[in-house]
Amino acid sequence: MDKEQWRGFLKKVFPYGRGAPENLVEEVSPFLDGNVLSFFPFSDELDIGPLNLWLLEEGRLYFPKIEGDQLIVKRVLEIEPKKKDAYGTLEPLKTISSDKNEISSILVPALGLDFSFHRIGRGKGYYDRFLKELDPKVSRISIIYKEQLVPSLPKEIWDQKVDKIFVY
């Protein structure tokens, strides 16, 4: 299958309607060093809302914003209210501009991942370009359901891997 076919397949097998895993914060938080770049998940991504709330309380929550063909970093001051950007991505309204060098960990969204830690996203390359620019010491973590983990995915030269995968 090519990437587009994989995206279709992964959206079909996604367990819609499942809430956030009960032990999400307890299991993932020990692996989140310093400031964390997170995101609001789409309906076909695992709900990381409780983790975002915990990071906000800790004063370590950052979100990406799409500008042109790049992601820029914003420190989140309040998680509500939020709005949809031109791409349908939710973003908090109360943020301040930050620098990618303030980030120590990043929660990387994924439609699917394979056993070699390669991910497949939505196909625009925003995260691949952003991850390529980051210091390699920045921890790259994806959190998915077991249905999103597959033995192998197609890879392109520009695709960036994650360092750790949490599977529920």
**What one-letter code names the amino acid at 102?**
E
pLDDT in tens, 15-69: 999 989 999 999 999 999 999 999 999 999 999 999 999 999 999 999 999 888 8
For the full predicted model, state whether its pTM sits above 0.75: yes
Q: Is the pLDDT confidence value at 86 over 80?
A: no
Cβ neighbourhood burial of 101 (10 Å; 0-12, 13-18, 19+): exposed
d(CA 97, CA 124): 23
Structural domains of the chain ordered from first start: 3-167 (3.40.50.10420)
Across the range 110-128, mean pLDDT stands at 94
73, 5 Cβ separation under 8 angstroms: no
What contacts 95, CB < 8 A, 6 or more positions away?
63, 65, 74, 75, 76, 77
Four-residue CA torsion sign, 113, 162, 50, 24: positive
Tokens 């770049």 correspond to what residue?
A: 37
Q: Is the pLDDT confidence value at 98 over 90?
A: yes
